[in-house]
Structure 1
Amino acid sequence: MDTLDSPASELRPTLDRLRDAWRNNRPDARQRLDDLARLRDAFKAGRGAMLDAVGADFGHRSAHETLLGESMPVTAELDHLRGKLRSWMKPRRVGSGWRLWPARAQLRPEPLGVVGVMSPWNYPINLALIPLATAIAAGNHVYLKPSEHTPRTSAWLRDLLAQVFPADRVAVALGDATLGAQFSALPFDHLVFTGSTAVGRKVMAAAAPNLTPLTLELGGKSPAIVAADFPPAQAAARLATGKWLNAGQTCIAPDYVLVDHASRDALVAALREQARSRYGDLKQADDLTRIINEGQYRRLRGYLDDARARGLEVIELIALDPVRAEAERMIAPTLVLEPGDDASVMREEIFGPILPIRSYRNLDEALDWVEAGDRPLALYPFSRDRATVERILGRLLAGGVTVNDTLLHFAAGNLPFGGVGASGMGQYHGRAGFDAMTHAMPVLWQPRKAASDLLKPPYRGFVERMVQFLAG
């Protein structure tokens, strides 16, 4: 499919055009609100074409999962931004301290200029438009580089944004990883990247010569910890939703489960029932999202081959026709029981519908396992005992947490989203995103007469006593 990829030679001139336009006409509140409203209207009107484009790029993706994972978060964020924008834009008065009395101090949220956004393939609409809309709300112009792995969706994004914004306010660069590397080296005023930790390191290195500030939304192995007191059937239902939505191709999907040893078999049985009721013998095949491309499919099959070669118990929870599965890149919801740390499924982020389950004898053992690895993007404690949950939260640091469920902290408009350590840096969503894409410029207002007028040589008498007093 011809996506009219952008020549690399156009990257810098396009950035310069965006920056010149921003300098000449910084968007005020009315312009920002109008932009967000027109984006929402165009997005809603183009939803049918969006579903077709995403489905074609995945080979097949549940339309309902696209509505839940793409349309709902984007619409909700646009509404949130529009509802809060005027209050966020107001200068915030802060104390100047008694030593500077009667001066007044304030923080003024000023836009940065041009924000670059590099979005991934797994949620190609959501993870492109939410940071883009946040940057627009913050008063910036935007240069978007969507994923080359979803070319039809990327072309749809380009066409959508061209309907809404002039070319000197929002631009889109289409191209492969080589173009992406050149894009990340541009001197943006802020750069948002969502993707793997490995590529995030390259983006950070490319941005370093320009001292470009970054928001890196990466990944990692997000654990679920099921305590002994939590009902296995309820845990299974919520884990199944978090793990099998989008065939597990979700950066905050539970990557593995640590479960109390006495509950393990009940959890496995409940997950089997969840898979049967959701997907059956593929009578509900339209609800089973495919793996995005052949490379990702082979990677996931390799994890299962590695597990079997190690003698691990691998449980495919529904029966797939092997010929059809191969042709359509389908992988059944699958469990891997008691993998060691050396198994591929425990060394790499899975990003697919494969769920390792390990049992523990006491909670400290589970916490030690998690703490020994990189800090995860998400953490999912399951317990009805508040003290147990607080014990987990007191030991483990993660980008975000949903207690007794999965994924939902991403959808909470007032909660920032981001990673920590190897799972990312910086946050966006709601006010956190607005703050990240503006500069809180400190301003001190000095009155006509001020005590500082006296603080000058010669430091004698009253002036010396004043200096001694101010110095404490």
Structure 2
Amino acid sequence: MAQSAQSFQFPEQPANEAQRILQLQRKAYLQDPYPGYEQRRENLLKLERLLIDNQDRITAAISEDFGNRAVQESKLLELFTSVDGLRYCRKHLKGWMKPRRRHVSVWFAGASNRVLPQPKGVVGVVAPWNYPLFLVMGPLASAMAAGNRCMVKMAANSANLCQLLHELVAGEFDESTLAILPGVKGADFTTLPFDHLIFTGSAQSGRTVMKSAAEHLTPVTLELGGKSPTIIAEDFDLQTAASRILFTKYMNAGQTCVAPDYVCLPEHRLEDFVTAAKKIVAGRYPDPGNGQFTAIIDDSSYTRLTATLDDAAARGAQVINLTPQYAPDPERRLLPPHLVLGVTDEMKIMEEEIFGPLLPVRTYRDIDEVLAYINGRDRPLGLYLFTSDKALQDHVIKHTLSGGVSINDCSFHVAQHDMPFGGIGASGMGHYHGYEGFAEFSKLRPIFRQARATALPLLYPPYGRTFNWLYRLMLKLRFF
């Protein structure tokens, strides 16, 4: 029989560093299970200061891990969003921590109900390499606002940033509160009996993590991915749509879980979209090798992406290099932005999440055929719709289901701190960010307090006429 996280018995001599830290944090949690407002606020503030004071070192470490990433991109997409999220949690923390009153049934007059959010205990955070700072700090902001102690495992491809954050965090936090663990193996981490585990990564890895967590009945938050569709409607300005889509698609060289994965637009607008894309990309990336365009993370990913392009071309797709003066560069793992036209479902590019600077374009005649296509596949992490028609917006939203929606832009629902972020189905489960993130990492504990005097004894055994009369009365009377 599997042991729960609370009943797990730790060995006297921990087998590895991850087990040692969990044992230490669990002991600290039991000694102080409800950190107060000031302590939580100070923890969030320390994380914020740590990021701001070391931003140059952090962005340099990220760039080194990637092989190249523009400092400006890391500051905008990771540092600012992380700091902004920590500040948002700090601002709203006091209100989130307050017990919330709930209505009491009229049959319990004089009693009271309230819900108290309490820390779950020790939260494990598994972060990927594509946004290695933001996808650590986002979950930490929610989990530490909720009063938990946290352990972080970062991807092997983020070794330089992981080592730097380990040193910086160790200088500000006792490891019984927060620890970032360099070099820890995934199997040594995800198999531990955490009180909650959040994993960001592929759907395949998410299934493995969920199986491991099930051994201890550990609740999980899974942030996965998928093929996020982007729809351009007939009424929307094509230049504006292309400008916004291409920014979010090609930032981080497309290595973004909420990147627009493919575009659907009316048949007669295809040529104009291609023309606009060529002009936009030429202006933004006149030389992809000048440090402004992010490298593909590793050789295997680069090989996978070039093979995906070759497969599409071999099956009849039209492949367009949007910076034709620059060919793919395997030495520096630089893959220029591409459009892929005439795609079919048999092509690799339409079978799995792309995670690179390749943008397939599909055409349609009727919007409902697009919705049928989307609904015939795994539910995506994001859905993007470009239209000013409110009725069409409502129709698309109510006839599809995705983790989140951005209208007239892509991906930026993730940067809204007062909205939950999370997937559904194959794109994940659970949420973080905002109050929903605070709630995700809290036990919303219902507390019922009985009144001094209560009529409930009238319903005690032995049952007879009084019970029958009261029961009939209870069914007839309505008070709400």
8 Å CA contact 1:226, 1:235 repeated in 2? yes
8 Å CA contact 2:223, 2:423 repeated in 1? yes
Task: For residues 94-133 of structure 1, give each alpha carbon's deviation from its aligned partner in whole angstroms, at most 9, with x where no partner exists.
Answer: 0011111121101010110000000000000000111012
Aligned partner (choices 379, 388, 408) of residue 412 of structure 2: 408
Partner residue of 2:86?
Answer: 78
**Which residues of 2 match residues 55-70 of structure 1 at below 5 A?**
55-70=63-78
Q: Distance in 1 between matches of 2:340 and 2:15?
A: 44
Q: Distance in 2 between matches of 1:461 and 1:130?
A: 60
Aligned partner (choices 223, 241, 244) of residue 238 of structure 1: 244
**Which residues of 2 match residues 210-221 of structure 1 at below 5 A?**
210-221=216-227
The amino acid of 1:202's aligned partner reads T
Q: Distance in 2 between matches of 1:148 and 1:455?
A: 63
Worse-superposed segment, 95-104 or 246-255: 95-104
Partner residue of 1:291?
Answer: 296
Residue 252 of structure 1 pairs with residue 258 of structure 2: yes
Q: Distance in 1 between matches of 2:345 and 2:187?
A: 33
Partner residue of 1:92?
Answer: 100
Aligned partner (choices 298, 304, 313) of residue 308 of structure 1: 313
Partner residue of 2:110?
Answer: 102
Residue 121 of structure 1 pairs with residue 125 of structure 2: no
Aligned partner (choices 348, 355, 358) of residue 354 of structure 1: 358
Structure 1 residue 404: deviation in Å? 0.6
Task: For residues 307-343 of structure 1, give each alpha carbon's deviation from its aligned partner in whole angstroms, at most 9, with x where no partner exists.
Answer: 11112110000035448x2211001110000200011
8 Å CA contact 1:193, 1:200 repeated in 2? yes
Q: Distance in 2 between matches of 1:38 and 1:154?
A: 18
Q: Distance in 2 between matches of 1:347 and 1:420?
A: 19
The amino acid of 1:92's aligned partner reads R
Aligned partner (choices 232, 244, 248) of residue 226 of structure 1: 232
SS state at 1:259 partner: strand
Task: For residues 33-91 of structure 1, give each alpha carbon's deviation from its aligned partner in whole angstroms, at most 9, with x where no partner exists.
Answer: 01111111111101110011001011110111101110111011111000000100000
Q: Distance in 2 between matches of 1:366 and 1:462?
A: 63
8 Å CA contact 1:281, 1:319 repeated in 2? no
The amino acid of 2:46's aligned partner reads R
SS state at 1:132 partner: helix
Residue 378 of structure 1 pairs with residue 382 of structure 2: yes
Q: Distance in 1 between matches of 2:303 and 2:215?
A: 36
8 Å CA contact 1:8, 1:182 repeated in 2? no
**Which residues of 2 match residues 8-27 of structure 1 at below 5 A?**
9-26=16-33, 27=35
8 Å CA contact 2:316, 2:342 repeated in 1? no
Please, what TM-score do these two structures have when normalized by structure 2?
0.94
Partner residue of 1:457?
Answer: 461
Identity rate of aligned residues, in percent? 41
SS state at 2:16 partner: helix
The amino acid of 1:292's aligned partner reads I
Q: Distance in 2 between matches of 1:291 and 1:333?
A: 12
The amino acid of 1:207's aligned partner reads A
Please give the root-mean-square deviation of Cα atoms over the aligned residues, in Å: 1.5
Aligned partner (choices 52, 58, 78) of residue 44 of structure 1: 52
Paired residues, number: 462
Structure 1 residue 174: deviation in Å? 2.3
The amino acid of 1:262's aligned partner reads H
8 Å CA contact 1:235, 1:267 repeated in 2? no
8 Å CA contact 2:381, 2:402 repeated in 1? yes
8 Å CA contact 1:320, 1:332 repeated in 2? no
Residue 207 of structure 1 pairs with residue 213 of structure 2: yes
Please, what TM-score do these two structures have when normalized by structure 1?
0.95
Task: For residues 220-246 of structure 1, give each alpha carbon's deviation from its aligned partner in whole angstroms, at most 9, with x where no partner exists.
Answer: 000001111111111110001110010
Task: For residues 395-418 of structure 1, give each alpha carbon's deviation from its aligned partner in whole angstroms, at most 9, with x where no partner exists.
Answer: 110000000101110011111000
**1:45/1:8 CA distance change after superposition, 3 Å:** farther
Q: Distance in 1 between matches of 2:440 and 2:336?
A: 40
Worse-superposed segment, 437-446 or 383-392: 383-392
SS state at 1:414 partner: coil
Aligned partner (choices 331, 334, 337) of residue 333 of structure 1: 337
Q: Distance in 2 between matches of 1:294 and 1:437?
A: 37
Residue 425 of structure 1 pairs with residue 425 of structure 2: no
Aligned partner (choices 150, 153, 167) of residue 161 of structure 2: 153
Structure 1 residue 189: deviation in Å? 0.6
Partner residue of 1:4?
Answer: none
Q: Distance in 2 between matches of 1:369 and 1:8?
A: 49
SS state at 1:418 partner: coil
SS state at 1:427 partner: coil
Q: Distance in 2 between matches of 1:406 and 1:379?
A: 8
Structure 1 residue 450: deviation in Å? 1.1
Partner residue of 1:390?
Answer: 394
Q: Distance in 2 between matches of 1:351 and 1:463?
A: 65
Unaligned 5+ runs, structure 1: 1-6
SS state at 2:330 partner: helix
The amino acid of 1:200's aligned partner reads G
Aligned partner (choices 190, 194, 199) of residue 196 of structure 2: 190
**Which residues of 2 match residues 161-172 of structure 1 at below 5 A?**
161-172=169-180
SS state at 1:296 partner: helix
8 Å CA contact 1:317, 1:333 repeated in 2? yes
